[in-house]
Amino acid sequence: MQKESLKQQLQNLSSQISAMHLDHLERKWITISLLVIGFFVGIMTIDAFFHGINPPGKVETVDSASLHLSKEFAEENLGVQVDDQGNITVRMVAGRYSFFPKHISVPAETRLTFRWVSMDVLHGVHIPMTNMSTMIVPGYVAEITTTFPKPGEYPMLCNEYCGLGHNHMWSNISVIAKENWTTPAKLVSKGGPSHE
Ligand SMILES: [Cu+2]
């Protein structure tokens, strides 16, 4: 019954649209607009399903005002850490106007988990030519898993306007060939820091 009425409504709508007078130019621009929308939806679909670019899927909170007192994001725990199973986690803090630590080295062709927090305002982090791009919202942990396929020097840029020094907010990341990368000895964690 309801299906029938929906079908009826669609038929009415399509007959109304075909009865509507549309100027040739107007029709042309409607078509162009729909093609542009279709193009962008297509790009998003390809990025999501083939390039693995997705919005973060979990919510984890942190107290941005006391990061230095937290177990995980205290200054001595920042940077690259390897746990007992060999999983590599990179913890970084974004603050006006830098990322801390300022420079890190990671191995290529290895799965890396980045955990980002902000100490003040909204920041973003973007590493060109990779799938690394996320907002760093104060009060939340932004976690991204990525792999750098090729060794090289990559910039890390802030891509959310955060104040007058925003355009100077960037850091470096050295991606080193897997066989040449050495575990940062002093940062090998024992069981990994507990999350609070
Ligand atoms: Cu910024």
Q: Does any domain span residue 193? A: no
Q: Does any domain span residue 160? A: yes
| pLDDT higher than threshold 80 for residue 187 | no
Q: Over the Cα atoms of the chain, what is R_g?
A: 24
Q: Does any domain span residue 106? A: yes
Residues 25 and 68 in one domain: no
Question: Which of 39-43, 96-100, 114-118, 125-129 tops mean pLDDT?
Answer: 39-43
62, 86, 168, 182 from 67: Cα distances, Å: 8, 26, 23, 28
Residues above pLDDT 70, as percent of the chain? 91
Count the domains in the chain.
2
Residues 130 and 152 in one domain: yes
| Range with lowest mean pLDDT among 114-118, 123-127, 182-186, 190-194 | 190-194
Residues 166 and 72 in one domain: yes
CB 141 within 8 A of CB 174: no
Residues 36 and 92 in one domain: no
Residue 172 pairs in a beta bridge with: 103, 155
What residue has token string 């007192």?
A: 69
Ligand 1 geometric centre to CA of 55 (Å): 20
Ligand 1 geometric centre to CA of 130 (Å): 19
Residues above pLDDT 90, as percent of the chain? 38
The predicted structure's pLDDT at residue 70: 83
pTM score, two decimals?
Answer: 0.68
Ligand 1 geometric centre to CA of 31 (Å): 38
Residues 46 and 68 in one domain: no
Phi, psi angle pair for 95, to nearest 5°: -150, 155
Q: Does any domain span residue 58? A: no
Residues 181 and 85 in one domain: yes
Q: Does any domain span residue 41? A: yes
Provide the token pair at 180: 């040449």
Residues 142 and 176 in one domain: yes
Ligand 1 geometric centre to CA of 97 (Å): 7
Ligand 1 geometric centre to CA of 117 (Å): 13
| Range with lowest mean pLDDT among 105-114, 117-126, 187-196 | 187-196
Residues 175 and 79 in one domain: yes
Is the preceding omega at residue 184 within 30 degrees of 0, hence cis?
no
Residues 106 and 170 in one domain: yes
Residues 161 and 82 in one domain: yes
Residue 110 DSSP code: S
| pLDDT higher than threshold 80 for residue 184 | no
Closest CA to 160 of 141, 135, 133, 128: 135
Average pLDDT over residues 51-69: 79
Residues 86 and 36 in one domain: no
Ligand 1 geometric centre to CA of 165 (Å): 7
For the sheet containing 103-107, what is the strand order?
Answer: 103-107, 170-176, 152-157, 123-126, 133-136
Ligand 1 geometric centre to CA of 28 (Å): 40
Confidence category of residue 185, pLDDT binned at 50, 70, 90: low
Ligand 1 geometric centre to CA of 92 (Å): 15
Provide the token pair at 179: 């066989």
Ligand 1 geometric centre to CA of 57 (Å): 23
Q: Does any domain span residue 194? A: no
Q: Does any domain span residue 71? A: yes
Confidence category of residue 196, pLDDT binned at 50, 70, 90: very low
- Residue numbers of the domain that contains 116: 64-187
Average pLDDT over residues 131-150: 88
CB 160 within 8 A of CB 135: yes
Q: Does any domain span residue 33? A: yes
Residues 72 and 164 in one domain: yes
| Element of type H or E holding 32 | helix 24-50
As residues whose CB is below 5 A from the ion ligand 1, the structure lists 158, 162, 166, 169
CATH number at residue 141: 2.60.40.420
Ligand 1 geometric centre to CA of 59 (Å): 22
Ligand 1 geometric centre to CA of 41 (Å): 28
